[in-house]
Structures are given as structure tokens and as C-alpha cells.
Amino acid sequence: MTFNLFVLPFILGLIFLVVVLVKKNRQWIRLMSTDDRKKLKGWYRSPKILLALKEIFFESLLHRKMFRRNPLLGYMHMSFAFGWFLLILFGNMESRIYSGLWVNPPYYPIFLKFFIHDKHVLPFEIFTVPGFFRFSMDLLLMFVLSGLVLAIIKRSRSKWFGLTKTTQHHFTDKVAITCLWLIFPMRLLAECMTAGAYGYGGGFITQHVGNVLAFLWPLNDKSIAYGFWWFYSLSLGIFFVTLPYSRYMHIPTEVMLIIYRNFGIKAGKEQSPIHEIEIQSCPKCGVCIDICQMNTAAGINDIQAVYFLQSVRNQQVIDGLVNRCLVCGRCEEVCPVGIHTDNQRISQRNSFVQLQKQDYSYLNHEADPQKAELIYFAGCMSHLTPAIPRAMTKILDAAGVNYLFLDEDRSVCCGRPMMLAGKLKQAEELIERNKKSITGSGAKTLVTSCPICYRVFREEYGLDIRVLHHTQYLLELIKKGKLPLQTYFRKVAYHDPCDLGRGSGILNEPRELVRKIADPVAVRDEAKDAPCCGGSLGLLNADRHERDLITKEALANYLDKDAELLVTACPLCKKTFAKHSPLEVVDVAELVAAAIPKVEKETGELVN
């Protein structure tokens, strides 16, 4: 007999789940932009699918990134995901030995020990094919159960898992988690009792535990075991039905996310189905809570990506939650699922923007574009730190560069502050205006002092000229021998600005540049782990005390070293740090300018 009524909850739950998932996925693809849909064409023939499968194996099953963050948390997720996957895989292989068929009903391997009682295989018979599978299945069940034990510990001892605050659960989450936690203990009990009642057919654990149970509990007969098979099937079935409406939707969705990502579909600044897929993919591991400076410095622990994404999923987004974020990218950097948390914020902010009539008439007052080989664009922030553009003009003059200081007198904002506030349409207006004066100049290179401008120039302007941050350009000048350096500074600490380091991946050039003129000290969190200075334009509703706390915490990263100067590469970081720093704060361009000999204006000759 290969059917029993108790398999129905499992079968019905599975059918329900598959139908919901297929419908959801078709809906996502239908709502995608035509560009994104095109990327998926012929996906089964593309080598990208192999890359996606590899990534699914490493991230969805092994949880490699989570392992790196916290081994215990990684093991917990891995034992569930990879352990369960292997149970299904091995279970299927084992079931084929007994059915002799290539295709079995899906419930058959899941409940195999109910249907098959093979007295010819002994619990420790590892080197025969049926013995190997029986042994492995017990071992794998223990593997999954070890994860369950950790999950239970995590509820009360989240600190051991690197989390100071574990995430809150909703009702469906609670039903789903209860069922999920019941599935494997029920399976264990059902298999043990069945093996105990028959006296054979179990593995090295199930058989022996079953025998003990049968001895201790004389009432243990096949009908009680049968009851546990029902419980097992019911917990599976209910879990499958609640899954699409609970946090566990992240299991199937993450797989789809990885596939789409490998085909180049990414969450941008405007809403798209991939945003929903990312939101559904969040496993609520909570890694983003501990990395967030709003939490660690200012004690604000209800706005982090995990809560924000949850509010979007539950359609309970409030602007207070959306706007309370530095958009510094630190959580995006550590997210094991690779959710674009910054763009998620921006796209949600965009939906909060009230459509107002804006006056852009000032943008039309434009002079004829001036011509130059190279454009220097200081940026609004640099005009508030005049030592930076002054240093740059001194350097450019000294190197004999023919340049145009595009925003020396008047300028239009690069658009990124608008963008961070979700005002994408308004930003577009500014971008168009600036693009005209940049392309109109005929320049082949654009150099800016501001990482905020730099990022938006690269990401949104679509310029077909070289766009460089001044750290890159200055390094180039030095390497070409155009800047004779005279002075060498002693110990300095270098701070990576968010939009330059994490945001644009410019990590090496500033370091190499600093090393040419100074002796950088090692700091605790640097490069992509560097803290935000707290001045972020992305934080739309913090009071000054909260910002001050963030700045002071960030400063601590650089101060308890023997550094004599705090060096950064962003006018906003410089200004923000200067408010609280006991050390002098300078831009790396200022150091370079101070390191080169003075230029005699009339003759262009270098003098000491």
C-alpha cells in the first residue's frame, strides 16, 4: 500500500504552495519593465543560470555570507536549509530503491518509513546502498534538529548570534515558525515509534530510540505512531500554506532573487517587482540592526532595514520610518541576501513625495557653455569648505592643467540630495541642466571634489567622458610626475566617505594617494566597513543630538590612534567631523596642495 489518508495535509499544502508561488512569479515577471524582461529571454540557454545555481547553492543552502558574519548564525541557517535540502535529495534516492520507479508520488519519500519496513537492513549497515541511505537519513535529521536547538536558544540568547535585538514576529509568522519547529521533532518521533513498534526498519538513531520508547511505553503500538505521522504531515501542510504569508517566503523568493540578479535585474530607485522580491527575500536575520549606527550610536533601534522592509511588506509604511535612515549603505554591505536597502528606501521615499509644482525657471538662465579639456566641479558642499577648491585650483595650476572651474561662480546642485529624498523627478531636472553645461564644454574629463556629486555623475548622468573623483585624478597626476611632492606628513587617519568608498568602490586610490604624502595609521573599521560621519544628506528627520551621537561614535574610530590629522575625501565629512573633532580635519587634496612647492603666478615656475 503506498497511500494513506494522513498524507493529504502535506499534499494539499504542497499543491497550494506551488500554485501560489507560480502565480506570484508570473505576476512579478508580468510587471517587470520590458528591459528587465528582455534580460530573462532564453534564460535556460544562458550560462548565467549556472552562475545563479552556484550562488543559490552557496548562499541559499550553505549561507556562506552569514557564516562570515557570525558562524553560529550561519550554522543555524545552514543546518535548516542545507540539511533539509539533503533530506529531500537523499530521501528521494532512497525511495527509488524501494519503489524501483524513477518518479514517485511526492509524499512517498517524505513518509517512506511509514510505508517501508525493511528488516534486511541493520541500523549500522553503512556500506550497502540501502544501509548507507538509512544511516545518512538519520544523520541528516540530527543535523537539522541541531539547527532547531540553536533557533530555540536564539530566541532568548540572541547576543550569542551577534544580534542585540532579535526581530519581532507577526501572527502568521508565529503559526509558521511553530509548524516549522514541529516538523522535524514530529518526523523523529513518528520514525522512532514506527521502528520501535515493528522492531526493525529504523536507522541508527530512530531504531534505537524507538526500541527504548517501545520498552518504556508498552502502549506504544502502530496506532500511536500513526498519530505522529498525522502530526508530521499536518505541520508540513500548515507550514506550506502559511509560508507565502510569513517571513519564510524568503526561502523560495531568495532563489528567484539570485536568478534575477544574475541576469542583471536589480532594484533601482524607482519601484519595480524586483523591489517586492527583495522585500520578500529578507529572512529577518537582523544583521542590519547591529551594523546600523542609528542603533549603536543613537539607540534608535526600530528603523533598521529589517523593520523597514517588514513595514513595506505589511503595507504599513510610515514616512517617519522611511526617512529615518542615513542611507549610508552599511546594511546593504552586510546583508547576506544582497538586498539593495538604500534603493529600497529611496523608492519608498519617492512614493511619499507630494507632487508639487516646482519652479525651475532659474535653470534656464544659462550662459553659453565654455570650452575646456578638463572640467573641475567642486560641488555645493565644497563651496562651504573653501579650503578644498582652493587646494584643487592650486594643484591644477601647479600641474599646468588646462581646466575650467565649472561651478566657480554659480552652479546647479548635482541632484543627489533630491534623489536621496526620493524626489526623483526633481533630481532629473537638475541633472538635465548640469548635463548640458558638462557636455557643452567638450571636456573629456570631469573631476569633482565631492563624492556625492561623483556618485550621481557616474550612476545617473550617463556621461560618455571620464568622471573622476579628485583622489583618482591627483594620484594620476602624481604618477605621471606632474606634481613634485616636497613635504611628508606624519601619522594620519583616513576616513572613507560613504559615497566614495562603499557607494562607488573607490577604496584604493585615496589610500595610495595618502600613502604618497603621509603615514596612514590603521583604523578599526575602514574601507567598506567605514562608519558614516553622521552628516549624511540621506537622513531626513533626525534631531541634532542624534546626529551628534553618530558623529562622535564615528570619530572614536579614528581618535584613539596616534594620528595627528584626520584625513577624508569629502567636504561634507570634513565639515561634519570638524564640529566635534579634537584633531584637525582636512581633505586629502589639502594635504597634496600643502605638499607641493609654491607656484610663482607670473612665470609659472616652481619656487620653494
Neighbours of 255 (CB within 10 A): 18
Taking the least distance from each CB to another protein, the nearer of 246 and 551 is 551
**Max CA pair span of the chain:** 107
Taking the least distance from each CB to another protein, the nearer of 19 and 384 is 384
Taking the least distance from each CB to another protein, the nearer of 109 and 535 is 535
Taking the least distance from each CB to another protein, the nearer of 285 and 593 is 593
Least distance in angstroms from the C-beta of 408 to another protein: 8
Strand partners, 468: 447
Listed residue (139, 160, 165, 138) closest to 150, CA to CA = 160
Q: What region, left, alpha or beta, does residue 42 occupy, with left being phi > 0 and alpha being psi -120 to 50 degrees?
A: left
Least distance in angstroms from the C-beta of 387 to another protein: 5
Taking the least distance from each CB to another protein, the nearer of 383 and 482 is 383
∠ CA 239-244-249, rounded to 5°: 90
Q: Are strands 598-599 and 606-607 parallel, antiparallel or unpaired?
A: antiparallel
Q: Report H helices in 414-467.
A: 416-420, 424-440, 451-460
Q: What are phi and psi of 157, to 5 degrees?
A: -125, 60
Least distance in angstroms from the C-beta of 383 to another protein: 5
Taking the least distance from each CB to another protein, the nearer of 146 and 411 is 411
Taking the least distance from each CB to another protein, the nearer of 266 and 579 is 579
Contact residues: another protein, CB under 8 A:
383-387, 390, 544, 548, 574-575, 578-580
The amino acid present at 543, given as its one-letter code, is D
Taking the least distance from each CB to another protein, the nearer of 21 and 578 is 578
User: What's the CA gap between 38 and 182, in Å, rounded?
Assistant: 43
Least distance in angstroms from the C-beta of 78 to another protein: 47
User: What's the CA gap between 186 and 178, in Å, rounded?
Assistant: 12
Least distance in angstroms from the C-beta of 388 to another protein: 9
Q: Are strands 598-599 and 445-448 parallel, antiparallel or unpaired?
A: unpaired
User: What's the CA gap between 312 and 318, in Å, rounded?
Assistant: 9
Long-range pairs, 424-430, Cβ under 8 A, ≥24? 424/269, 424/270, 424/346, 424/350, 424/353, 426/358, 427/456, 427/460, 429/358, 429/360, 429/363, 430/363
Taking the least distance from each CB to another protein, the nearer of 251 and 387 is 387
**Sheet containing strand 374-377, strands side by side:** 403-405, 374-377, 445-448, 466-469
∠ CA 322-328-330, rounded to 5°: 105
Least distance in angstroms from the C-beta of 385 to another protein: 5
Q: Report H helices in 111-170.
A: 112-115, 129-156
Taking the least distance from each CB to another protein, the nearer of 169 and 580 is 580
- Contacts of 359 by beta carbon, 8 Å cutoff, 6+ apart: none
The grid coordinates of residue 202 equal 529504523
The amino acid present at 223, given as its one-letter code, is S
Taking the least distance from each CB to another protein, the nearer of 266 and 390 is 390
Least distance in angstroms from the C-beta of 486 to another protein: 21
Least distance in angstroms from the C-beta of 449 to another protein: 13
Burial class from Cβ neighbours inside 10 Å (0-12, 13-18, 19+) for residue 36 reads buried
Q: Are strands 466-469 and 518-520 parallel, antiparallel or unpaired?
A: unpaired
Least distance in angstroms from the C-beta of 455 to another protein: 22
Least distance in angstroms from the C-beta of 502 to another protein: 25
Taking the least distance from each CB to another protein, the nearer of 299 and 462 is 299
Least distance in angstroms from the C-beta of 426 to another protein: 19
Q: What are phi and psi of 587, to 5 degrees?
A: -85, 150
Q: Measure the CA dihedral 410/412/417/422, to 10°.
A: 160
Least distance in angstroms from the C-beta of 37 to another protein: 47
Taking the least distance from each CB to another protein, the nearer of 528 and 579 is 579
Taking the least distance from each CB to another protein, the nearer of 280 and 551 is 551
Least distance in angstroms from the C-beta of 424 to another protein: 26
Burial class from Cβ neighbours inside 10 Å (0-12, 13-18, 19+) for residue 133 reads buried
Listed residue (577, 548, 581) closest to 564, CA to CA = 581
Taking the least distance from each CB to another protein, the nearer of 12 and 559 is 559
Least distance in angstroms from the C-beta of 495 to another protein: 17
Q: Can you tell me whether residue 2 is helix, strand or coil?
A: coil
The amino acid present at 590, given as its one-letter code, is E
Least distance in angstroms from the C-beta of 572 to another protein: 11
User: What's the CA gap between 429 and 389, in Å, rounded?
Assistant: 26
